[in-house]
């Protein structure tokens, strides 16, 4: 499901809250990213929805809730580096929440919450996660 479709659903669920979508399509016009960025920095309730573009290098002081959708594809991908990339993305996105005065909350959507790699990342951190990935690779070789 793409961001445009998620945006439609969010607007129906939350008709009184601005939904700010950040992806290649929504930021392709000159000045569009700047307008979205300005709106995201206002202390007004809004839902900031986006692709990996949002995960890196941006400070949004009023973001208190972050949701990462469909992480299963990253953990179950045939590319042996995919779980590490997915974990890094989860951590980068999680770092966007609670940067201001209010605490943050991170939600992760998965159909396999018992996934050992995901559980290791959540409960033991990235170092333990990376160590587990490395051990699994050594078994394959």
pLDDT digits (tens, 9 = 90+) for 18-57: 888 888 888 888 988 888 888 888 878 788 888 887 777 7
Q: Tokens at residue 12, please?
A: 């129906």
- How would you classify the pairing of strands 105-108 and 65-68? parallel
Model confidence, pTM: 0.80
At 111 the pLDDT is 95
Superfamily, domain 3-112 = P-loop containing nucleotide triphosphate hydrolases (3.40.50.300)
How far apart (Å, rounded) are the C-alpha atoms in residues 53 and 96? 12
Collapse the DSSP code of 44 into the 3-class scheme (helix H, G, I; strand E, B; otherwise coil) and give the result: coil
Q: Of 116, 122, 107, which is closest to residue 135 (Cα–Cα)?
A: 116
Q: Which residue has the tokens 């900031």?
A: 48
pLDDT band, very low/low/confident/very high, at 63 (cuts 50, 70, 90): confident
Which range, 7-11, 96-100, 130-134, is most confident? 130-134
């Amino acid at each position: 499901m793409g961001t445009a479709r998620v945006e439609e659903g969010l607007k129906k669920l939350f008709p009184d809250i601005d939904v700010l979508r950040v992806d290649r399509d929504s930021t392709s016009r000159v000045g569009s990213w700047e307008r979205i960025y300005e709106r995201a920095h206002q202390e007004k309730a809004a839902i900031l929805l986006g692709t990996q573009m949002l995960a890196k290098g941006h400070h949004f002081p009023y973001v208190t809730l972050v949701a990462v959708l469909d992480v299963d594809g990253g953990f179950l991908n045939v590319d042996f580096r995919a779980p590490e990339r997915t974990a890094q993305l989860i951590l980068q996105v999680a770092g966007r929440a609670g940067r201001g005065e209010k605490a943050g909350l991170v939600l992760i959507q998965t159909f396999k919450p018992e996934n050992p790699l995901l559980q290791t990342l959540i409960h033991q951190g990235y170092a333990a996660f990376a160590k587990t990935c490395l051990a699994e690779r050594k078994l394959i070789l």
